[in-house]
Amino acid sequence: MRIKLMIEYDGSNFCGWQFQPGLRTVQSELEEAIEKATGEKARVTASGRTDAGVHALGQVAHFDVEKDLGSKYAGALNYYLPPDIRIIKAEKADESFHARFSAKNKTYKYVIYESEVDSALLRKKATKVSGKLNASQMNRVAKAFVGKHDFAAFMSTGSETSTTVRTITDIEVKRKDGFIIISVSADGFLYNMVRKIAAALIKVGKGEMGYDDITQLLDRNATFAPVAPAEGLYLFKVEYKNE
Amino acid sequence: MRIKLMIEYDGSNFCGWQFQPGLRTVQSELEEAIEKATGEKARVTASGRTDAGVHALGQVAHFDVEKDLGSKYAGALNYYLPPDIRIIKAEKADESFHARFSAKNKTYKYVIYESEVDSALLRKKATKVSGKLNASQMNRVAKAFVGKHDFAAFMSTGSETSTTVRTITDIEVKRKDGFIIISVSADGFLYNMVRKIAAALIKVGKGEMGYDDITQLLDRNATFAPVAPAEGLYLFKVEYKNE
């Protein structure tokens, strides 16, 4: 029986999603909770890994078990999970459903605040930028990323990928409640792609880069080195076929 | 020389404001940072204590030192302080300024979210309520608290106070970005007064209490037992004469 999970987590105190011996990861905590709830050892597969410090509001994962807890999966797993991981939804899925390979589109949000002083309350939840950013200019230039492009310049080494071509279906930058929020949706993301796009857009907001600088990095054998910090990044949602 | 501080802190990992031997408190961390920055032992006085788990966006405090760091106080203290306490502003104040006794008005905010599942990301930052609250009814009934009243019913024992009369200058309940936020301003607050008012307004939002239930608790020798959790409470600002 295949179970599909929708998961929220606070990435602050995790060494990322993926199992690493001796380290606290989201995957290990989930697999431990599943074993406690069902008595079975299961391998949990996510829509994609997230790095240390990256948060999720709507990560999706699946696992296979024999034990049928009916509608009680979410409650049983939340009972055993630490409070910084919560199952939002758990449901039976078709055997053909695969959290990673069936994913059609993903949306990340990157949250920035402008301040000269670090915030005690936003610590590990948003990225501080000194000085004011021009958010409307960031939004205009962001449109350069939209469409099917070779994003090789916006990838850190370490991607397990055969192609660096991805399609960004939507990107938007807006001010909301004192924050600047970058929302980016694509059919898939390369390693550190969102954080490199965020770093580029922060430079745009400071007037250090423009539209042409972005187009000159796309579809080229180029490298854009800056990577914005993990703490501002949220995996917002994962969309699947037939949804 | 008297220094006035405006302080933000994340109360999650503190046993409240006040010094307690062997425990991590905001006051102890501040006094330690002052000693490191100036070489002097100083006693820090806040506008009022906050309990374990209560946050502050604009706590105000003062202390006296010999050493004149000029405009460098905020930077020097932030250098030695842990990241969950940040000095927003530090400035010289008149010898007659007293963070507690000179305070004219204080504003607290209480932040609620409605969900059947605890949120991993809002953990220790907002209070979860199951089911939907009627926020406009909460706002209407909240007005019963406005004015000069004996708030004895809305105090936990432990208040160091000669009178239980306080004046609420403003109270408002509104929905904002998926949260319900209670803002309450008064010339002073009794121990747990905001958390008891929040608990009463949550009952109002659920239809369990109405306007008359509040007026029957005010100005009476009565007791309202419920106390809303500390984690939703933020000391928002403290106002002083001549500001």
CATH number at residue B196: 3.30.70.660
**Cα–Cα distance measured from residue A148 to residue A165, given in angstroms and rounded to the nearest whole number:** 7
Same domain, A109 and A222: yes
Asked if A86's CB is within 8 angstroms of B118's CB, the reply is yes
Catalytic site residue B118?
no
CA distances B72 to A145, B75, B86, Å, are 43, 5, 14
The residues near B99 (Cβ < 8 Å, ≥ 6 apart) are B4, B45, B46, B47, B60, B61, B62, B238
Instruction: Find the CATH number of the domain harbouring B18.
Output: 3.30.70.580
Residue B99 domain-assigned?
A: no
Tens of pLDDT, residue by residue over A89-101, are 999 999 999 999 9
Same domain, A163 and A228: yes
Same domain, A199 and A115: yes
pTM attached to this predicted model: 0.92
Q: What is the pLDDT of residue A243?
A: 65
Same domain, A113 and A204: yes
B83–chain A Cβ distance below 8 A for any pair:
yes
Q: How many C-alpha atoms does A12 have within 13 Å on its Cβ side?
A: 14
**Chain B residue with the nearest C-alpha to that of A122:** B10
Model confidence at A17, pLDDT cuts 50, 70, 90, reads: very high
B10–chain A Cβ distance below 8 A for any pair:
yes
Catalytic residues of A, which ones?
A: 51
Same domain, B178 and B82: no
Residue B155 domain-assigned?
A: yes
Asked if A9's CB is within 8 angstroms of B117's CB, the reply is no
Minimal C-alpha gap between B72 and chain A (Å) = 13
Number of independent structural domains in chain B: 2
Reference B55, options B119, B127, B118; nearest CA is: B127
A55–chain B Cβ distance below 8 A for any pair:
yes
B200-B204-B207-B210 Cα dihedral, nearest 10 degrees: 100
Tens of pLDDT, residue by residue over A185-213, are 999 999 999 999 999 999 999 999 999 99
Q: Which domain holds residue A35?
A: 2-93
Same domain, A110 and A167: yes
Minimal C-alpha gap between B186 and chain A (Å) = 24
Q: What is the pLDDT of residue A166?
A: 97
Model confidence at A159, pLDDT cuts 50, 70, 90, reads: low
Q: What is the pLDDT of residue B159?
A: 64
Same domain, B113 and B199: yes
Residue B149 domain-assigned?
A: yes
**Cα–Cα distance measured from residue A151 to residue A163, given in angstroms and rounded to the nearest whole number:** 9
Reference A3, options A28, A38, A29; nearest CA is: A38
Q: Are B11 and B59 in contact (CB under 8 A)?
A: no
Among B10, B51, B68, B219, the active-site one is B51
Q: Which residue has the higher pLDDT, B58 or A160?
A: B58
Q: Which of residues 156-215 of A touch B (CB under 8 A)?
A: 176-177
- Best to test chain B binding among A85, A117, A118, A233 (most B CBs inside 10 Å): A117
Q: How many C-alpha atoms does B118 have within 13 Å on its Cβ side?
A: 18
Minimal C-alpha gap between A104 and chain B (Å) = 25
Tens of pLDDT, residue by residue over A32-70, are 999 999 999 999 999 999 999 999 999 999 999 999 898
The residues near A90 (Cβ < 8 Å, ≥ 6 apart) are A3, A4, A5, A6, A73, A74, A77
Q: Are A38 and A63 in contact (CB under 8 A)?
A: no
**pLDDT (mean) for A99-108:** 97
Q: What is the pLDDT of residue A21?
A: 93
A88–chain B Cβ distance below 8 A for any pair:
yes
Same domain, A51 and A109: no
Residue B164 domain-assigned?
A: yes
In single-letter form, the type of residue at position B240 comes to Y
In single-letter form, the type of residue at position B63 comes to F
Asked if B120's CB is within 8 angstroms of A8's CB, the reply is yes
Same domain, A24 and A51: yes
Same domain, B24 and B66: yes
Q: What is the pLDDT of residue A161?
A: 76
Tell me which chain B residues have a C-beta less than 8 angstroms from the C-beta of A120: 8-10, 83-86
Residue A99 domain-assigned?
A: no
Residue B98 domain-assigned?
A: no
Same domain, A73 and A124: no
**Cα–Cα distance measured from residue B76 to residue B38, given in angstroms and rounded to the nearest whole number:** 9
**Cα–Cα distance measured from residue A194 to residue A206, given in angstroms and rounded to the nearest whole number:** 18
**Cα–Cα distance measured from residue B165 to residue B189, given in angstroms and rounded to the nearest whole number:** 9
Residue A187 domain-assigned?
A: yes
Same domain, B154 and B227: yes
Q: What is the pLDDT of residue B161?
A: 76
Minimal C-alpha gap between A144 and chain B (Å) = 29
A118–chain B Cβ distance below 8 A for any pair:
yes
Reference B194, options B84, B98, B106, B102; nearest CA is: B106
For residue A87, the 8-state DSSP code is: E
User: Which among B83, B86, B177 is the nearest to A177, CB-wise?
Assistant: B177
Residue A98 domain-assigned?
A: no
Reference A234, options A90, A111, A72, A97; nearest CA is: A111
Asked if B83's CB is within 8 angstroms of A120's CB, the reply is yes
Tens of pLDDT, residue by residue over A109-153, are 999 999 999 999 999 999 999 999 999 999 999 999 999 999 999
Domain end: A74, A93, A112, which one? A93
Tell me which chain A residues have a C-beta less than 8 angstroms from the C-beta of B9: 120-121
Give pLDDT tens digits along chain B (243 positions). 999 999 999 999 999 999 999 999 999 999 999 999 999 999 999 999 999 999 999 999 999 999 989 889 999 999 999 999 999 999 999 999 999 999 999 999 999 999 999 999 999 999 999 999 999 999 999 999 999 999 999 999 876 678 999 999 999 999 998 999 999 999 999 999 999 999 999 999 999 999 999 999 999 989 999 999 999 999 999 999 876
**Cα–Cα distance measured from residue B103 to residue B96, given in angstroms and rounded to the nearest whole number:** 12
Q: Are B18 and B25 in contact (CB under 8 A)?
A: yes
